Structure 1
Amino acid sequence: MTSLRLRKPARAAIAALLALSGAAFAAPAASAATPHFFGPQQHSWGGHPFSGDSNWGGYVAQGSGFKSISGSWTMPDVQCNTSNDLFAPWIGIDGYGSQTVEQTGVQADCSSGSPVYSGWYEMYPAAPVYFNNPVSAGDTFNASVVNTSGRSYTLTLTDVTQGWTKTTKQSLRAQDVSAEAVIESPTQSYPSFNELDFSNLTVNGQAFDNYGPQSMDSGPYTETQLQNGAFSIIPG
């Protein structure tokens, strides 16, 4: 499921029509849950309110005191349907009900007409940082995001198949109010893939299940039941 978002020119045109007609509408209240987007630099990302039809698909736990999340996944073989297709599996802290996200993952970008895979991390609202290390379909990844103390975070992404690891230490004033293992498409245009498996998901050293995470579908994909820190993303 995706939600329709109007481009700025369209918004301006509608505003002009309303002004001419003299119609007045009350603006809807902003949602408390506000995911932000990893998105590549050539795409629009960040600041979009969460509303029912989510750009996130997977599981999100809410509460307080989320100090670490870790997990694994295998990057699926992606088939591009359009050059606008873009998606990433990632794990992270915050972003759902807060204005920051501390996250790391892997993206598949179809803007060239064929999928291009790359690893990245992001400390939103700062821009994402991309790694030059090789990534291929079928690679297995381990990842973690850890609040080591106060505003200090350590983010680690390992491509087990290719044999490389990237670790970065960053500082950010964040709230640690959610933890997530999800897929996302900031363009709301997913490529096709058969299945993506998350496993070994832990939060604060415990199985992800213990924190009562809620499930979310995104685009054409849905998630299987979370069991002992594992679930799959499959076509819905």
Structure 2
Amino acid sequence: MRKFLIRVATLAAAATALAPVAPTTAAAAQHLAFRPLSYNINGYNWGGYAATGSGFTSVSATWTEVRATCNSTNDLYAPWVGIDGYGSSSVEQTGVATDCSSGSPVDQAWYEMYPANPVYLSTSSYPVSAGDVINASVTYVGSNKYNLKLTDSSRGWTYSTSKTLSAQRASAEVIIESPTGAYPNFGTLKFSSATVNGKSLGSSNPVAMDPSNGSYEARTSALGSSGTSFSETYLQE
């Protein structure tokens, strides 16, 4: 069985406030966590880039929500940014999930301090849909406290929260993930303005990942010349 590919990223040009409410999607109701990097004999559930080492204090990125097409009701994925998760047992993260459990794609903002369950934001107070420009950031502010911030500049809302967790801060990520191992067809999603510790993502010499579930589900491009942008292209469920 072909193993999932992990490759080292370079700076080469791309070759290719209202409180959250109880979960309203099936994904949230089932507590499907966007969890630390995991794998089985077929491959990994993450795509994107992870900087590794120690002392990570911030990560941020911007993307435009794409219009996904559901292949099945099992499809679920999210772009997100976070600290930890690559080689550790916690993740401090925020992003937007696309859930196909209803038969149609539903976009919903969320954050998570894994191993706690994800918290999904109210779709009426914090709506997200295809075409919206999203910026996400996670910042460590000391004393085991993290600020998580999500902004939908297309709709003019920002959600931020501060949470406490004792974690290693041994990695920082800009990622797409499918907890179910099944991606909807999201076409191509482009991350931009990706930074780690206030510098370009590429300056941290991050590890690149392509999600695989027996065969590759998406492809991660090389980083752009600035080291702050890359794309994820859907291949198959």
Q: Is the 8 A contact 1:120 1:131 kept in 2?
A: yes
Give the aligned residue type for 1:232.
Answer: S
2:219 maps to 1:222: yes
What is residue 30 of structure 2 aligned with on the other side? Answer: 42
Cα distance between partner residues in 2 of 1:47 and 1:99: 6
In our comparison, the structure showing a higher alpha carbon Rg is 1
Residues 225, 79 of structure 1: CA spacing in aligned structure 2 closer, same or farther, 3 A cutoff?
A: same
Give the aligned residue type for 2:195.
Answer: T
What is residue 188 of structure 1 aligned with on the other side? Answer: 181
Residues 196, 47 of structure 1: CA spacing in aligned structure 2 closer, same or farther, 3 A cutoff?
A: closer
Residues 87, 2 of structure 1: CA spacing in aligned structure 2 closer, same or farther, 3 A cutoff?
A: farther
Q: Which runs of 5+ in 1 are unaligned?
A: 4-38
What is residue 204 of structure 1 aligned with on the other side? Answer: 197
Give the C-alpha shift of residue 92 in structure 1: 0.3
Give the C-alpha shift of residue 212 in structure 1: 0.6
Give the C-alpha shift of residue 129 in structure 1: 0.6
Give the aligned residue type for 1:231.
Answer: F
Cα distance between partner residues in 1 of 2:207 and 2:139: 21
What is residue 80 of structure 2 aligned with on the other side? Answer: 90
Q: CA RMSD in A?
A: 2.0
What is residue 170 of structure 2 aligned with on the other side? Answer: 177
Superposed, 1:70-149 pairs within 5 Å as: 70-132=60-122, 133-149=126-142
Higher helix share goes to which structure?
Answer: 1
Cα distance between partner residues in 2 of 1:98 and 1:206: 23
Give the C-alpha shift of residue 120 in structure 1: 0.3
Cα distance between partner residues in 1 of 2:36 and 2:135: 28
- What do residues 76-121 of structure 1 show as CA deviations (whole Å, max 9, x unaligned)? 1000010110000000000111111000000000000000100000
Give the aligned residue type for 1:224.
Answer: S
Decide which moves more: 49-58 or 130-139.
49-58
What is residue 9 of structure 1 aligned with on the other side? Answer: none
Give the aligned residue type for 2:28.
Answer: P
Q: Which runs of 5+ in 2 are unaligned?
A: 4-26
Residues 2, 197 of structure 1: CA spacing in aligned structure 2 closer, same or farther, 3 A cutoff?
A: farther
Cα distance between partner residues in 1 of 2:55 and 2:75: 35
Give the C-alpha shift of residue 50 in structure 1: 3.6
Task: Tell me the secondary structure at the aligned position of residue 40 of structure 1.
Answer: helix
Decide which moves more: 129-138 or 50-59.
50-59
What is residue 45 of structure 2 aligned with on the other side? Answer: 55
Cα distance between partner residues in 2 of 1:104 and 1:230: 18
Task: Tell me the secondary structure at the aligned position of residue 149 of structure 2.
Answer: strand
Count how many residue pairs are aligned between Structure 1 and Structure 2. Answer: 201
Task: Tell me the secondary structure at the aligned position of residue 66 of structure 1.
Answer: coil
Task: Tell me the secondary structure at the aligned position of residue 167 of structure 2.
Answer: coil
Residues 138, 166 of structure 1: CA spacing in aligned structure 2 closer, same or farther, 3 A cutoff?
A: same
